[in-house]
Structure formats: structure tokens, C-alpha cells
Chain A
């Protein structure tokens, strides 16, 4: 990262910061006064029952959803409404989706180089070299010339992570990255994510994988009904949940 960018921000400027964010879908109040900040190198895990607004929260951060009020800052810069500046800031926040969302008509390597070439304006040669390194980092380099449909779900999701990494993002958002996977493939994706976290990547992860949260999270955020109900270290949250709603939620999960 360039030094000039750091001059304008001090060390405690969060990579991602949400201030009093509110959002409605029609009459549904889906995000209620959300305040959240993610520091550099932190892994923040968001958990909560289905429909509590976790995906919407993730999606507002790179403005796949607009917000009604409040503000969202990326390293202190306010997310703009539209246009070039928005695209530029978006490119700095990676996103990994539940359903992988690889480009179906492109080979694996071409999926990874699209952003670096079109957005970062890298040469094809440079983009390809780096893409191959990233693909081997996530363990799918041998699949580089196949198309997504020829890969397993776990492989596709690892490609999606490589595609996000290729943009050198300041943070990556993961929205239930393992929920669409067969159980035997969940581990391989969580392993890659764990490795990323250990290497210092700033991550915001929506997941139901409680073991991952326990082992990797710097902080756990519990959402319910569009609000952040509880925010704590993983040990505190899992061992001594403060709110009744968090206790009920943890019980309901452990019942499985």
C-alpha cells in the first residue's frame, strides 16, 4: 500500500466504518441505526438468525444496496452515490458471495484477471502471472483453464476468493461463503479464509460456522431484527452471551 495514502489517515482510522446506518425495504426496517467499525487486520464475524439483515449489511458496504441515512466510510472516505469514484472505492473492498458468482463464460484464470485488467489497468501478462500465484495460493491452479461449471463448489468459492484478492482489496466481505457448499467442501474454503486472516487480511464474515468464529474472529457481532444486539470477543460471546436473543440463538444452533 502506498505511503501517501496513509498520511491522511492515522493508524486508528477504521478500514470500514458505518455510522448510524438505516435502511428500509418498503415498510420493512431492515437495518436499524447500525454502528460498526472494522480496524485493519481485524476479522469481524457477523452471526444472527436468517432475515436479521446480515446480507443487507454486507451489501450496503460496497453499495450493492443503497442506504436511507447514516454514512459508510472506507478508510475515512465517504462512499459516494454513483459514478467513477464509487467504482474506485468498490474495487478496494472485495466481496465473496454465497453462490460464488463466477463469470460462467470465462475460464478460471480469465475470471481472476478481469478486474486487474479492466479496473486496475494491468497488462494481461502481469495480471496472468499474479492470477496464477493467487490460484495456487488457494489450491486451484491446476484448474486455471477450465470454466466454472467444471469445478466443484468448494473449488469455485476458492476461485472467487482469488478473484477478490487479485484486486488487492483493503478488506474482503464474505456473505455466508460456505452455506451453498456440500459439507465435505466447507473445510477447504474455511482453511483458505483462516490462512488469509492469519496473514492479516481485514475481513467481515457472515457465517454460521461457529468453530470458525471461535478460532478466527477478533470480534463477533450478533444481529437480530436489523439491529446489532451484541458485540464481543468470541470467548465472551460464546461462553457468556449477554442478551436473551443471543442465548436463544446459540441454543438453537447447538440443538442441531
Chain B
């Protein structure tokens, strides 16, 4: 394979991300080619679908906040974005560099429309705990269904639900979870758990067929009993009664989820009781806050690209770009975008060096290369969903994924998240100030980016929380990801 095989997309990526070129030159050609292919598909999505339609959809969502355009997800199927976090052996489109792939995808999609990108990204966020918890007992059924749906252009989606009406920041950090006022509780009963309470602001929660949900088994000891469940649409008592009217990123819904005596069987615990903070939250945040930095970067790029077009358009005989005030700022803006990319790429590459080891581990390769009927056969499936099966998977995961690696990953993720989102907000804001009251299509795009960017300072932990994480991990060493032993006694009293 040669440079030229990577086409225009490869050329652009190598110019914007010299580190990719370096990896290519040093022999990681397959992985890099996969990244380029993802971005190429994202460019096509942006060109053919997002750009022609995003402003219209944004308006429509304002009039009909309940509306959801499934065409976004069908298009995502077409470009294979729904299986971006699903290993190849299971039919998915995850490449060798899974986190980098997701980050680059988000950057590119958000430079088209971050609302659509969120609809797609929130699904991957829902898939993530299923993959990282090593819940192999569900992989063939659910991940298989997602892949199959993608193939048939009948999207099957997931969502990730941790936020509760009175606990947002609190569910994202161990120290705060301990003192959180929670709504949702999962009570242990014979053969499973009964969930009661609410989650709120869940992206894609109203469309998802499967939702990964974190809940305390005992609200008075939330940290110790925090557990991740797989909840399925159709389970009795589970509903999504309302969606919000958001300022931006409107193409995706933020839904409230209601749990009224929802029975969830034992097999649907992802990981095990009490590992929810480490496995269900911190591990996911460590892998997803970087991509949120990429989302912010994509939004900044959207503002930048429209701003640049505006600046080069002659109006009343003049081009704005001929003025210093525009040129000085354009260079600043590009600097901010590249600074962001440096930050989210550091996180992504660290992520891939950690997770890549597991996916390449002989035992994992072997398990995944077995024909699916072996894994789905009842005996094997029961084993994988049993305590012993989970203990085995956990042992493998722990062998490859060290707590200190995830802690370090979390730090880089939080850093990328708040820096990229602050830069994006500033870029959009300054671009609008420079455009002033000019009547142009481009201004509408930058206004959209301005509304969209604000969300990136809030979700996946507010920027204040993410700054605390960096402090606690790096300067104070008080925040360490510590995956508890499987089946620690006393989780359920």
C-alpha cells in the first residue's frame, strides 16, 4: 500500500495529523488505512447528507422536539458507523485503533452536524460498557443484532444512562457518588433485580432498543453497590416519557427514562455487582471523554469552515479575509483546532495502546474467532453470564488492562474534554463577533455551532468536574481507578 492509495482523505489527514503519517511510515499501515477509510466515509456522510440537511432539521426539531429522523441512523448504517465500537470478528467495523477511529469519526461528523453525530455517538457510548465489561454472553446476541441491523439498514441502537435528576456531576466521580442523592435503585430479588426511579438527559434514550444503566443496589451505600445493568426496550415498566427541547445538537434526543418495577435478570448485570464506578463509569469516561473533545473540535471546525467560506466571499466589493482582523483570527482559530487535535489524539492513542492489547490477546482472539454458535450455545452462554464466567473474563481483562493505565487514560480524557470544549466555545463565539450582523447562510451555521458547542462544556461531566479529575489524578493522586474484586462480599447486604 502506498500513500496515494489513501486518496485525498489520506493526504489531508497526514497533513492535519502528522502522527498518523509517522505511524504509517513505521509500518502500521493496516490500522492507518482503516482510519482513513472511516474518515472518508464520514466525509461522504457530511457532504451528501449532513450539510444539505442539517439546518433544516435543526429548525424542524425546534418546532417538533419529539420528532426523530431515523434517516440519520439509516445513513449511519450505510456508512457502518453503528458498529464502530464492535470488533471485526463479531462483524463490526472497529479497526485496529478503536478509540482513534471513534475520535476521528466524531471530529469529521461534527464538522457536518453535531446533532446527527451525537445521535450516532451516543449509540456507541451505549455499546461501550457492553464491550469493555467483557460481557461476552451478550455479544453475539446484541452486538450481532446491531451488526445485522446495520447490514439491513434497519438500525438497532443503544444508549448509556448514568445521569439522574438530582445527580449529574455526582455520578461521575467516586467521592461525590458517595454523597449523591439518587433516584434510581435496583433491589435484589430472586433471579434478578427490580429497578425503580428515573434517569434524565439520556441521549438517544427514547430510540434505543438497549440501554446500559448504572444504578445503586443500596442508595445509602451508592459507591459500594453501584452496578451496571443492561435494560431492554419492552421490559415491563421501562419507558421514556419525555424528551427535552435543547438549545443545540437537536437532531439527537435527550430523554428521560422511567423505571417502574422493571425486572432485570441476573444475566443482565454487565460486569458484576459493585464494579459500576470503575467499570461502568470511569473506564467508559476514560474512553469517551477524548471523543467528546473530538466532538467539540468538529463543531469548532464546522464554525471555522463556514467562517472561512464567508471570509473569502466578496461582498460589496470586498473580501473580509483581506482585512487583518479576519486574518489574525483565522490563524488563531486554526491554532485552536490543531491544539484540540493534539489533545484528543494523545488520549486516543493512549486508549488504543491499552485496549488494543486486550483485543489482540490470544485468548480474546481465540474466543472471538470461534464460530458464534459455540459462544451462543446454551451451556457456554450460561457459563459466560455466570459468576465464574464473569470472573474469568474479568481476570483476562485485568491482566491486560491495568488500573493505573485507565487512571492515566482518564486524566488525558478529561484534559482533552475541557480544553477542546472551551476552545470550541471561544472559537464559535469569536467567529460570530467577527461576522457581526451579516446576513449570510454561513452566519446561520456558525450560530448553530455556537449553540451546539455549549453542550460540550456540560455533558460527559461538566468542565468543572473534568478539571477536578485532572487535579485529583495528576496533582493530588487521590483519584485512582480501582476495579473491585469480582463478587466482593457485602455488596448486597
A binds B: no
A interface residues with partner B (beta carbon < 8 Å) = none
